[in-house]
Amino acid sequence: MVDLIISHCNPLVIEAETDAPVVWRDYDIAIAAGKISAIEPAGRLAGSAKTAVIDGRGMLAMPGLINTHAHVPMCIFRGLAEDVSLERWFNEFMWPLESNLTETDVYWGMLLGLAEMIEGGVTTVADHYFFMDRAGQAVVEAGTRAVLGWAVFGSNGRPALDKTAEFAARWQGRADGRITTVMAPHAPYTCDDDFLRATVAHAKRLKLGIHIHAAETLGQTEMSLKKRSITPIGVLAQTGVFEVPTIIAHGCGILPEDIPLMTRPGMRVGVAHAPKTYLKLGMGLTPVAALQQAEIPVGLATDGPVSNNTLNIFESLRLMALLQKHEARNPEVMTIPQALDIATRGSAAVLGMADRLGQLAPGYLADIILIDMSGLHHQPLHRPLAGLVYNTRPGDVHTVIVNGKVVMENRRLLTLDKGEIIRQVGLNMTRLARRVPENRIQLYNP
Amino acid sequence: MVDLIISHCNPLVIEAETDAPVVWRDYDIAIAAGKISAIEPAGRLAGSAKTAVIDGRGMLAMPGLINTHAHVPMCIFRGLAEDVSLERWFNEFMWPLESNLTETDVYWGMLLGLAEMIEGGVTTVADHYFFMDRAGQAVVEAGTRAVLGWAVFGSNGRPALDKTAEFAARWQGRADGRITTVMAPHAPYTCDDDFLRATVAHAKRLKLGIHIHAAETLGQTEMSLKKRSITPIGVLAQTGVFEVPTIIAHGCGILPEDIPLMTRPGMRVGVAHAPKTYLKLGMGLTPVAALQQAEIPVGLATDGPVSNNTLNIFESLRLMALLQKHEARNPEVMTIPQALDIATRGSAAVLGMADRLGQLAPGYLADIILIDMSGLHHQPLHRPLAGLVYNTRPGDVHTVIVNGKVVMENRRLLTLDKGEIIRQVGLNMTRLARRVPENRIQLYNP
């Protein structure tokens, strides 16, 4: 039974012969039981009396965007750490600020960020933060999809690690399967090898992946080599992290010799690329071209809203494409189809979901966004694919569907109360902005 | 007599002691005869019965944005030249496409781009293109401010140059002073020295400045050094261009030894920085830090919408700031106040208008935009200045005032008919996209 038809839209699909994205004109998309059941030229699909219809006339339909690495609730601290070095960012700003954090802050911060992401067409996020039961509750209410991991430092100790595993077990598959979980140790420089091994043991026992920061900068890699003659990626390989599916956040310090460690048979290691953070904090860039050449999945990410300072995946897409051209001093690299592939199938592959997310095709999960390209900044629309990469803004996202359910229609959020979220977050601004550098949750000293 | 009061807004002003931007809370701005007449704490200013009032409650008021280098009517070709080298971009795409151009295309293209810019808070543009009488007509109708130059190549010959001077004389000071004009030779590599000298003679006779592309890439500078042992900036100095006020577009190939040529006593040379184009075409970057150190004004620009592909100065601002941090691998450079200074006073100085544009202060022209920062992507608003640089989108611009007149209110364009503009441009898409590489208006061979 068809639950929903998006009629007369222009879907972004993968053309079979070329394996490249193309836009078909005037098609209907049918959705049944949370999945895409058919995509056919308009008028061919018939629903029943119960089938809802969304008019997609003139809209580009594409897979919901995926944010492969974020700390969404950090949007409550937006703007509080500017123009400072990475070390000061952690030690004098972020980690002291996070000592203010309560469970309730995480709940409202997660709702705020999820609402911002829905407005910008992001339907899935891999979130790495604290008090994740409350983040999970927010995802249940928002109706979006998430891969949740409860962040933990080695200094928190084994009982804390065990609790993050209990969280992962408790939430795996909840919210009609919209929520999946991972283990989320912070980074090799904050978790010692035994702690990482214990994390791997939990992940294997629970059949889960691991989401971890690693080789965030070349500086971290050099420091690791100096201190212990092994790269951060080498540490992950040696401690068994890569024996379970792994999402590596950032990887700006990945060296050529790290790459074979990430591509052994049976491994599933992907890298989340959050370019705005790297520019803003002077971190260098993920070696996207080298990873792609080695067929290591690369996905788009925002990172947290204190470095980004938003949760805008269209901006990540645009920056990723522009910076690849800039770094290579070659405008012919990272073409529009390649950039869109990273934003869709690449990001899905980083999360290990390439068989069900990141494409509009029958059998795939019905996470679909409709983009209105009638705005002045798109017109005249000679090349919709160019418009998607270089012109599209969150405000162009018209309608958002997750798991077959409409969560935003004509820019109106259907699952969340925007005014109430803003009000709740605003109540605590003074407390949240209080900063005592000695009162930090962790020390950055890679 | 006060014509208009913006009440209860939060103006971005330059703090006298620090010479840095700050936001005042709850002020009224009074406008009389097209200028700001007063900025006072809310409630102190009284208009007459005839004074219009705009409710600025909760809005950030800032100087209208300035686009210091564009080819606005090129938005009719948006998306038609993607993922190609700079040479192919010119020779196989842009210059063949421009052989399709009619006067009427320029008129509608200019209207389209002006409408897009108004929606994004851009109140002034320095435009460098063809058929500029029609562009001027569009500016008259839009109600915005412009510095117009009719682009000319050496190969067009002296009579064509003379005609561009006649255009400049004809339009200087029109539309209540909103339009000023400049001479607009294309570049040193397309205009020989005698042609540049003849341009300077026109500029001196008419008391005008010159707006010219120069040292667009390091490759162009190297080629100039190889062919004639002088840099493109050296050519401008030698041919007398710098004897009149000069706007240099791009300057990614400016060398350290060029800088003294641009800073001799009495000179007024500024550089328009359009970072999105440079990334997209792999051109390198304008040496912003070196120019700033030499006190050469740097302003923000979009360049044309075929390289950009939009006319979004908030994006130029964000990219400029992020890239300065990235290139220096130092997040402490190009701070938020410095970035905002380039976007406001810097851009005004590039156009030689620092005494009347780029600041909210009594006596300055009343080009003011109101920014609505209530959106989810700004909340909670701990730091409005950070939000301006890193979070603000064109869609946040609520109201736009130019020369004391409201041209957009609550996102409704008051001077232009958006639907009709889009319809008119759409009529000619097929003709405009036709491309015969042999049919080009010029050859790129620097």
B interface test, pick of A382, A389, A425, A444 with most B CB neighbours within 10 Å:
A382
**Domain termination residue (choose one: B330, B350, B370):** B350
A422·B390 Cβ contact <8 A: no
pLDDT at A104: 97
pLDDT at A87: 93
- Write the CB contacts of A58 (distance below 8 Å, at least 6 apart in sequence): A8, A10, A372, A373, A374
Residue A433, domain member (yes or no): no
Residue B289 touches partner A, C-beta closer than 8 Å? no
Cα atoms in the Cβ-side hemisphere of radius 13 Å centred on A60: 26
Summarize pLDDT for B247-306 with one digit per residue, the tens: 999 999 999 999 999 999 999 999 999 999 999 999 999 999 999 999 999 999 999 999
Helix and strand totals (H; E) in chain A: 16, 18
Mean pLDDT of B131-147: 98
pLDDT at B155: 96
Distance between CA atoms of residues B162 and A275, nearest Å: 48
Q: Are B99 and B433 in contact (CB under 8 A)?
A: no
Summarize pLDDT for B27-50 with one digit per residue, the tens: 999 999 999 999 999 999 877 888
Whether residues A101 and A170 fall in one domain = yes
Nearest CA in chain A to B281: A331
Give the H or E element holding residue A372.
Answer: strand A368-372
Mean pLDDT of B97-111: 95
Residue A423, domain member (yes or no): no
Residue B440, domain member (yes or no): no
pTM here is 0.98
Whether residues A264 and A315 fall in one domain = yes
Q: A1 burial class (0-12, 13-18, 19+ CB within 10 angstroms)?
A: exposed
Distance between CA atoms of residues B167 and B133, nearest Å: 7
Distance between CA atoms of residues A64 and A404, nearest Å: 11
Give residue B1's pLDDT band: very low, low, confident or very high (50, 70, 90). Answer: confident
Nearest CA in chain B to A389: B309
Chain A: closest CA distance from residue B119 (Å): 9
Residue A420, domain member (yes or no): no
pLDDT at A50: 87
Residue B112, domain member (yes or no): yes
Whether residues B342 and B226 fall in one domain = yes
Please tell me the least confidently modeled range out of A299-303, B95-99, B367-371. B95-99
Whether residues B130 and B171 fall in one domain = yes
Chain B: closest CA distance from residue A328 (Å): 7
Write out the residue range of the structural domain in which residue B115 sits.
Answer: 65-350
Domains: count for chain A: 2
Whether residues B32 and B126 fall in one domain = no
Distance between CA atoms of residues A109 and A115, nearest Å: 10
Nearest CA in chain B to A434: B382
What is the DSSP-derived secondary structure letter of residue A240? T
Residue B435 has pLDDT above 90, yes or no: no
Main-chain phi, psi angles of A30, to 5 degrees = -105, 140
Q: A19 burial class (0-12, 13-18, 19+ CB within 10 angstroms)?
A: exposed
* Average pLDDT, 10 consecutive residues per value, chain A (446 residues): 96 95 97 97 87 96 98 97 94 91 97 98 98 98 98 97 98 98 98 98 98 98 98 98 98 98 96 98 98 98 96 98 98 98 98 98 98 98 98 98 98 98 95 87 90
Q: Are A380 and B76 in contact (CB under 8 A)?
A: yes
Whether residues A199 and A51 fall in one domain = no
Nearest CA in chain B to A329: B282
**Domain termination residue (choose one: B320, B350, B380):** B350
Chain B: closest CA distance from residue A88 (Å): 10
Nearest to A343 by CA among A70, A59, A63: A63
Whether residues A53 and A72 fall in one domain = no
Picking from A83, A309, A386, the nearest residue to B79 by CB comes out as: A386
pLDDT at B437: 81
CATH value at residue B25: 2.30.40.10
Distance between CA atoms of residues B143 and B120, nearest Å: 15
Whether residues B310 and B242 fall in one domain = yes
A interface test, pick of B105, B217, B312, B326 with most A CB neighbours within 10 Å:
B326
Helix or strand or coil: residue B77?
helix
Nearest to B53 by CA among B63, B62, B45: B45
Size (chain B), residues: 446
Cα–Cα distances in angstroms (integers) from residue B71 to residues A118, B114, B325, in the given order: 35, 11, 28
Residue B428, domain member (yes or no): no
- Helices of type H across B342-416: 347-350, 384-390
Whether residues B88 and B223 fall in one domain = yes
Whether residues B224 and B298 fall in one domain = yes
Chain A: closest CA distance from residue B202 (Å): 36
Token pair for residue A86?
A: 């990475």
Summarize pLDDT for B63-96 with one digit per residue, the tens: 999 999 999 999 999 999 999 999 999 999 999 9
Whether residues A98 and A145 fall in one domain = yes
Whether residues A14 and A88 fall in one domain = no
CATH value at residue B123: 3.20.20.140
Residue B10, domain member (yes or no): yes
Nearest to B397 by CA among B418, B412, B417: B412
ipTM reported for the complex, 2 dp? 0.97
pLDDT at A45: 87
Which residue has tokens 């302003």?
B299
| Residues in A 379-438 with any Cβ partner in B closer than 8 A | 379-383, 386-387, 390-391, 393-395, 418, 421-422, 425-426, 429, 432-433
Residue A135, domain member (yes or no): yes
Give residue B346's pLDDT band: very low, low, confident or very high (50, 70, 90). Answer: very high
pLDDT at A285: 98
Secondary structure in 3-state letters for A160-196: HHHHHHHHHHHHCCCCCCCEEEEEEECCCCCCCHHHH
